[in-house]
């Protein structure tokens, strides 16, 4: 059983199951960690610290204790939300005085 906590930076995976209960299950689901969603591990903090993950366009940090509840399967192909469609990137403009 592979968990999110066992992945290395650069790993692409698909969430297969979330083994958590109660508030933790709701929190992980709200963050996008649901079966079928693809994720990319961006980096890991030193000394067994948090894991930086991208799910779709959302980036989040997870404690390793929480990441152990997320089962994953390796993926080699990046899935896109909508093939062929592109969205403009919003820009942040400062207000003029």
- Number of compact structural domains in the chain: 1
Helix (H) or strand (E) holding 23: helix 22-30
Is 44 inside a domain boundary? yes
Q: What is the CATH number of the domain that holds 9?
A: 2.30.30.90
What pLDDT digit, counting tens, does each position of 18-52 carry? 999 999 999 999 999 999 999 999 998 888 889 99
Domain that holds residue 24: 4-74
Cβ pair 7, 15 in contact under 8 A: no
Is 22 inside a domain boundary? yes
Is 55 inside a domain boundary? yes
What pLDDT digit, counting tens, does each position of 47-86 carry? 888 999 999 899 999 999 999 999 999 887 666 554 444 4
User: Count of CB atoms within 10 A of residue 20's CB?
Assistant: 17
Is 9 inside a domain boundary? yes
Closest CA to 33 of 83, 74, 72, 77: 72
């Amino acid at each position: 059983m592979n968990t999110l906590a066992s992945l290395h930076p650069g790993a692409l995976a698909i969430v297969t199951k979330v083994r958590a209960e109660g508030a933790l299950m709701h929190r992980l689901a709200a963050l996008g960690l649901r079966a079928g969603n693809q994720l990319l591990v961006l980096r890991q903090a030193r000394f067994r610290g948090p894991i930086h993950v991208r799910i779709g366009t959302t980036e989040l940090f997870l404690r390793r204790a929480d990441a152990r509840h997320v089962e994953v399967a390796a993926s080699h192909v990046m899935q896109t939300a909508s093939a062929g469609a592109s969205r403009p990137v919003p820009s942040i403009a400062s207000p003029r005085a």
